[in-house]
Structure 1
């Protein structure tokens, strides 16, 4: 059986008409039957849909936001398609479905489920447009709804993959198509057994590519980005960056855990388990080597810098003069597990526990409500979590400068600090 290749294109690679034309050129000489193309929502579409959901939650008018988003996609289509192309009624139909889905009631209780039912339209619309354009350019491929392939539980926004069911779905529905044509599908979105739409976590399209690759026993996965490969720091934040020609699975997984945005955190494990190499390449320079993530014996010693924005520092202080024990940790982590809140940093003292986590709407409110009878709870929001792997004193001093630290943690290999960013 021929080996499958998986290509994933993120939002930046299909953000406008020229980007979609560029994607078609990248695929022109690389496409073969056993290829899966995974696409994200176009540009900042997911952000735009989140604003619409937020306005709906706050009972504010959002129809103009839908119109702006529709016109954004329509302008792209009018540039790259002939006037009477079928993509235009398809686009109209998708935005009609979006408007209908937004008519359903929204509350704190059903927020996550509602979120997934709306946010999926970004990927659905993008995949239709890209699929039709490739076919227009005689790069024939089949469109596939990812929700029929990747089955999950109903942990909306952070759905857990049912690997056994997903593998059966992929082998039954996807594999026969790949024998005839390349297949284009969506990243990020998935489906529960009930038929409800779920998602795999923000920026989860990389994980989609890894799931498909693992279930198909693919030869490789290639993620196309607006950077030349995996860098030791975000080039938008730091001037001097180093590109890795190759990186070990474990090193890459650790960087994603700390918040490196180049790859979704869950992407590495399914690939590493089957020794499937992951290539990170630039859609701006597609012939460049990029970075190969695979089994590398030589450990990395280059300092790596990761900054996570919109962090919350929460402190739980015992009120009955007892000292912090394992029971307190177990109690707090039990509530975090129920709310699907992930801790990015933990620090304990004699009488308090401090946690750093992503800002998630309504989740902190529910957490404090559950634990306020036992602890005095305080929190700071709008923070940054800085992580320096393979740190040294000079580098730490250079990056931090005079910024005040709310929390600091140092191990042999890793420096972490919680910072209150200065007002811009």
Structure 2
């Protein structure tokens, strides 16, 4: 039994959905649990719906959601013939879930509404792909992942209830393989014990697939992407990026921690716990070998480059020149936990604590406001964080270029530079 995950880029057009079917057609004799993301930029579009709704712009939110509806209905019309009406009814039910909420007024926190709205993307995409596969002779059963993966109510970054989810997998998922070899479900989302939708963090579909691989004791997990495998840098930014054929769990965890987008940060642990290999393969050319990630030592890796744009730097100084010791730093990390933010770089001085993190304006504002009870706070935005593992001095200076270095930290293996563009 294997777990496959197809990301948004693999289902963002009619031709690519057909390519997914071509790939799955080669595995008709295998038991597969298939996790599929929202189509293309749907998650971004639904985020705008959530933002408009929370800002009290109901008509704008409904208009933006109407565009999402039309895109999915159009895709279904082009793909389906005999199963279109059935699929349309399924899609309409999911549309209604969101529209019912949009006609209300927000009385809870933004993250709650974000999850109720954004989760629709995966539900819509999987309904369409499942119908298309069945229509083309690739028999499958569609599962609402919210019935299987129980989470807490930490909206936008929910934690899996492993014990309950295992019970659901044993009770409902495993028996389905006696009916069809292929099961289709959603990535990125789950539900609380009160049936409120949750999300597992951006790019959480990789993690969903790993959770299922663990709970099903799968022989492997494969992530199908629009690149040849794991590269040493983003090929869209670095055309000379090279393929890394072999990686181990530890290296990938480090890469993910520093922001490499190829694997979700939480994906590796469920696989590592049971020694399940992870393959990263190209859905555009399935014959390519891709990358295998395992538990064996790997040597002579090339420099691995990660760049995170849109970074905000917060500089906190004690108000009375007292040392910034364990207690105030502990209070600060408690704030991080409350707001579900993670600093990408930190620096502790005698009377100051400096850190950078992704620039989510609403979280930055709240963090700065609450931290101002303890510190004098200044915020600087528009920065970029460069991380190089297995770095070379010449490469570092080349990548810094004409930028101004704000903070630089390095170990024998990894260097990080927070920088801003000189005017």
Q: Structure 1 length as normaliser, TM-score? A: 0.95
Check the 8 A contact 2:2/2:30 in 1, yes or no: no
Check the 8 A contact 1:34/1:179 in 2, yes or no: no
Alpha-carbon spacing, 1:100–1:122, altered in 2? closer, same or farther (3 Å):
same
The answer on 1:53 being equivalent to 2:50 is yes
Q: What residue number does 2:18 align with?
A: 21
Check the 8 A contact 2:213/2:221 in 1, yes or no: yes
CA distance in 2, matches of 1:238, 1:104: 46
CA distance in 2, matches of 1:248, 1:351: 40
**Secondary structure of 2:379 counterpart:** strand
TM-superposed deviation, 1:390: 0.8
Stretches of 4+ aligned residues off by more than 6 angstroms: none
CA distance in 2, matches of 1:399, 1:30: 43
**Secondary structure of 2:191 counterpart:** strand
Moved more, 370-379 or 95-104: 95-104
The answer on 1:272 being equivalent to 2:269 is no
**Secondary structure of 1:310 counterpart:** strand
Q: What residue number does 2:137 align with?
A: 138
Count, aligned residues = 419
CA distance in 1, matches of 2:253, 2:34: 23
Alpha-carbon spacing, 1:414–1:198, altered in 2? closer, same or farther (3 Å):
same
Moved more, 274-283 or 381-390: 381-390
Instruction: Output one character per residue of 1:371-408: Cα deviation in whole Å (capped at 9) or x when no partner.
Output: 21321001122322110001111000111101112221
Q: What residue number does 1:76 align with?
A: 75
Alpha-carbon spacing, 1:422–1:284, altered in 2? closer, same or farther (3 Å):
farther
**Secondary structure of 1:139 counterpart:** coil
Check the 8 A contact 1:6/1:220 in 2, yes or no: yes
CA distance in 2, matches of 1:226, 1:156: 29
CA distance in 1, matches of 2:52, 2:81: 35
Alpha-carbon spacing, 1:90–1:51, altered in 2? closer, same or farther (3 Å):
same
Instruction: Output one character per residue of 1:20-65: Cα deviation in whole Å (capped at 9) or x when no partner.
Output: 1110000001133521010000010000001111122233323332
TM-superposed deviation, 1:421: 4.7
CA distance in 2, matches of 1:123, 1:63: 19
Check the 8 A contact 2:402/2:422 in 1, yes or no: no
Instruction: Output one character per residue of 1:308-355: Cα deviation in whole Å (capped at 9) or x when no partner.
Output: 122221111112112222222212112212222212111112221011
Check the 8 A contact 1:36/1:185 in 2, yes or no: yes
CA distance in 1, matches of 2:51, 2:186: 24
Q: What residue number does 2:92 align with?
A: 92
Q: What residue number does 1:349 align with?
A: 349
Q: What residue number does 1:166 align with?
A: 165
Q: What residue number does 2:39 align with?
A: 42
Q: What residue number does 1:126 align with?
A: 125
CA distance in 2, matches of 1:274, 1:364: 38
Instruction: Output one character per residue of 1:230-285: Cα deviation in whole Å (capped at 9) or x when no partner.
Output: 00000011121111111011001110110000111100011011110000000110
The answer on 1:9 being equivalent to 2:9 is no
CA distance in 2, matches of 1:75, 1:422: 46
CA distance in 2, matches of 1:172, 1:382: 49
The answer on 1:153 being equivalent to 2:157 is no
Q: What residue number does 2:369 align with?
A: 369
Unaligned runs of 5+ in 1: none
Q: What residue number does 1:219 align with?
A: 219
Alpha-carbon spacing, 1:290–1:422, altered in 2? closer, same or farther (3 Å):
farther
**Secondary structure of 2:344 counterpart:** strand
CA distance in 1, matches of 2:132, 2:143: 15
**Secondary structure of 1:262 counterpart:** coil
Check the 8 A contact 1:9/1:39 in 2, yes or no: yes
CA distance in 2, matches of 1:9, 1:421: 36
CA distance in 1, matches of 2:166, 2:371: 40
CA distance in 1, matches of 2:422, 2:176: 53
CA distance in 2, matches of 1:106, 1:358: 25
CA distance in 1, matches of 2:328, 2:91: 52
CA distance in 2, matches of 1:411, 1:388: 11
Unaligned runs of 5+ in 2: none
The answer on 1:316 being equivalent to 2:313 is no
Check the 8 A contact 2:152/2:158 in 1, yes or no: yes
Check the 8 A contact 1:319/1:376 in 2, yes or no: yes
CA distance in 1, matches of 2:414, 2:328: 26
The answer on 1:328 being equivalent to 2:325 is no
**Secondary structure of 2:382 counterpart:** strand
